[in-house]
Amino acid sequence: MKVVLFCGGEGMRIKDHSGPIPKPMVCVGYRPILWHLMKYYAHYGHKDFILCLGHGADHVKRYFVDYDETVSNDFVLTGGAHVELLRSDIHDWRITFVDTGLAASVGERLVAVRDFLDGDEWFLANYADGVTDAPLDDVVRFAQESDRAATFLGVRPNYTNHVVRSDASGAVTDVQHVTEIGLRINGGFFVMHQRFFDYIGPGEDVLGPPALRLAADGQLGSYAYDGFWACMDTFKEKKLLEDIYHSGLAPWEVWGDRRVAGDGHAGPRGDGFLEPPVLTPLAQG
């Protein structure tokens, strides 16, 4: 399947720390979060990418045109100049770079690249600012068997807020952590059918009015996942992902040796952010 990645937003909540670099190009470890996401999809055999560019498009283009394989791969250097790669990241990837406008919504960006899908019945899409270890093959199978126009990964929120219930007098009757009430949010990992385009109008976003139309027709689905998922909207969330990455056990690296066992879900801590999950190395076979 082709993978549509929305890379054109400004990322206002992390902009003070990322500067002119678009959010998908903010690094976790040695590579941008966009790269980590593409590696995830490539691991499952989806290597035909369509990048919807806008803000900071030059940073994205330059990164891949000047891509340095030696940063994240083992290699042999001989004669002080000749590099023999022992592994390669992107040699079999196909990446289409499309300028979809500086101020376009995610929905407008998706519509702008429809022709690049080459009429494929099913495709994948992503906000390009989060990572997960969700079993993508199972997500795709669920979406196709349910035959809905759009299915997203439904994840537990990482919020530290509490839900408060009170009576007419203002007396609090119940307090629950937001993660305890069964709430799920859109994790940004989509499996879509071409029918989705029948539900989106000019200038609309991917969710919002189209989602209400889809839901009314039974054409919107959610794959419930309780394993690891994290997004990078803020500097604190970037720091969390960096901490997990540098622990040597990154749950989202399903392609390598840094995987973990257990649900790997990040949980709340007292200072209003997330505690990195307790990670257990998988046995290597």
Mean pLDDT of 13-29: 74
Pairwise CA distance, residues 79 & 72, whole Å: 21
Q: Is residue 101 classed exposed, middle or buried when 0-12, 13-18 and 19+ CB atoms within 10 A define those classes?
A: middle
Rank 43-52, 169-178, 245-254 by mean pLDDT and report only the highest. Answer: 43-52
The stretch 20-49 carries a mean pLDDT of 93
- CB 198 within 8 Å of CB 214: no
Do 182 and 161 touch, CB atoms closer than 8 A? no
Averaged pLDDT, 99-107:
92
Q: pLDDT band for position 19 (50/70/90)?
A: low
d(CA 165, CA 112): 44
How many whole angstroms separate alpha carbon 223 and alpha carbon 49?
22
206-247 pLDDT tens trace? 988 999 999 999 999 999 999 999 998 888 889 999 999 999
Comparing CA positions, the residue from 232, 189, 7 lying closest to residue 112 is 7
**What is the separation of C-alpha 242 from the centre of its chain, rounded to a whole number of angstroms?**
16
pTM of the model: 0.83
Domain ranges of the chain: 2-157+183-281
pLDDT in tens, 150-193: 999 999 877 666 778 887 887 887 787 766 766 789 999 999 99
Contacts of 244 (CB under 8 A, 6+ apart): 230, 250, 251, 266, 276, 277, 279
Name the strand (E) or helix (H) holding 220: strand 220-225
Task: Select the CATH number that applies to the domain covering 2-157+183-281 from these four: 3.40.50.300, 3.30.390.50, 3.10.105.10, 3.90.550.10.
Answer: 3.90.550.10
Which residues are registered as beta bridge partners of 131?
230
Q: Would you say 40 and 100 are in contact if contact means Cβ atoms under 8 Å apart?
A: no
pLDDT band for 17, please (50, 70, 90 cuts).
low
Cβ atoms of 124 and 192 closer than 8 Å = yes
193: left (phi over 0), alpha (psi -120 to 50) or beta: beta
Residue 227 and residue 264 in contact, taking contact as beta carbons nearer than 8 Å: yes
Q: Nearest 5°: CA angle at 137, between 94 and 221?
A: 105
The letter for the amino acid at 126 is N
Name the percent of the chain lying above pLDDT 90.
59
